[in-house]
Amino acid sequence: LEGERDALKEKIRDYKRLEEFIEAISRVTDLDQVCDTVVEETYRLMGARGSVLLYLVDEKTHRLELRSIRKESPEVQIKEKMGDVFDQWAVRHGLPLLVEDAMGDFRFDSEKVRASSRSLGSLVCVPLMSQATCAGVLRIDSATQGAYQPDDLRFFSVVADIVKLALENAVYFRHMQDLSVTDGLTGVFLRRYALERLREEFFRAQRASHPFSFLMVDVDHFKCFNDTYGHLGGDIALRKVGRALRDFFAAPGCVVARFGGEEFCVVLPGIPKEEAVRLAQGFCHALADREMILRKEKVRLTVSVGVAGFPQDAQTPEDLMRAADEALFAAKHGGRDRVCSF
């Protein structure tokens, strides 16, 4: 009877710890913060009995990627940034894994374990399954053999189910944030977001006396393009220009947005006006070299670009936009397919 009471008390403690765990990870919604919180709270929840690792499957490469870790000691070296044989097993089979003796488990080649892993004694590894697809792996391991038992596997599996839901919520929240600031047609940012960033970066450049540039971009003869190929063709053209702008101005800090209709804008913090002009010219040439097929015809797109820079052209964000718009007007009336600045 006393043993049953002790077991019941232990279950109540587990439920209490899980409740605190859920509360902790529910306070954050950013995906990176969720990953770090999950690892820290899992480490605490498991009584600091090993290193906790969280891998997520990269959407582009479809490979595991180490997102967060809590090491049991500073001496532990984590080299498996894309997981090891145990993580791959959990992903491949979609099943939780308990290994009480990492070097002696018959399911794994000891030579491969020795070659691909640090010094391991035992581990628990649980795939984060979402609609029959593995989204990642949550794992705890120790240099000590027999550090984890079947009860730990069951408890860790419950933790992993909670983690999976927290990660799904974080991904959904990020997706909704992206939708709120991203143009659905072209995939670049919306004008509202670009103007917010323009003001932030402008005043930062002003305080630090750093250069700053702003581009206004207009698709040439877009009305004629729409009349010839229809609105569907026009949408394809806008997507092509948006993607080309995003790819070309991909440096950290650069912001590409759809300003409205067939107009785009580019925020270039830290870029002097002269360099911005050269970049704009390079973009015009790169875009003109791309071909697209519409109604079995080869079509080339061109753009006109107006460039303005701080401190030469403006002392306020509004003046900078006005100067870029005036330069764009000059480019359009000067023959199009060109870059203008004053």
Amino acid letter at 336?
Answer: R
Among residues 124, 116, 122, which one has the least CA distance to residue 144? 122
Per residue in 77-107, pLDDT (tens digit) is 888 889 999 999 999 999 999 999 999 999 9
Confidence of residue 2 (pLDDT cuts 50, 70, 90): low
Q: Which two tokens stand for residue 154?
A: 């069951």
pLDDT greater than 80 at residue 9: no
Stronger pLDDT, 6 or 154, i.e. the higher one: 154
Q: Above 80 in pLDDT, residue 243?
A: yes
Q: What is the mean pLDDT of residues 112-133?
A: 85
Q: Residue 199: how many CA atoms within 13 Å on its side-chain side? A: 6
Q: Dihedral of the CA atoms 160, 161, 166, 167 (nearest 10)?
A: 70
pLDDT at 3: 65
What are the angstrom distances between the C-alpha of 279 and each of 255, 268, 276, 293, 306? 14, 10, 5, 26, 12
- Among the listed residues 140, 125, 136, 139, the one whose alpha carbon sits nearest the alpha carbon of residue 168: 136
- The string of pLDDT tens digits covering residues 27-82 is 888 889 999 999 999 999 898 899 999 999 988 888 999 999 999 888 888 888 89
Across 190-205, average pLDDT: 92
How confident is the model over 234-263, as a mean pLDDT? 94
pLDDT at 117: 63
Structure tokens at 174: 């990020």
For residues 182-188, average pLDDT: 92
For residue 189, the 8-state DSSP code is E
Q: pLDDT tens for residues 299-342?
A: 889 999 999 999 999 999 999 999 999 999 999 999 999 999 99
What are the beta bridge partners of residue 53?
69, 139
Looking at residue 11, its pLDDT comes to: 73
Rounded to whole angstroms, the Cα distance separating 255 from 242 reads 12
Percent of the chain with pLDDT over 90: 67
User: What's the confidence (pLDDT) of residue 18?
Assistant: 84
Pairwise CA distance, residues 92 & 95, whole Å: 8
pLDDT band at 20 (very low <50, low <70, confident <90, very high): confident
The mean pLDDT of the chain is 90
> Is the bond preceding residue 96 a cis peptide, omega within 30 degrees?
no
Percentage of the chain modeled with pLDDT above 70:
97
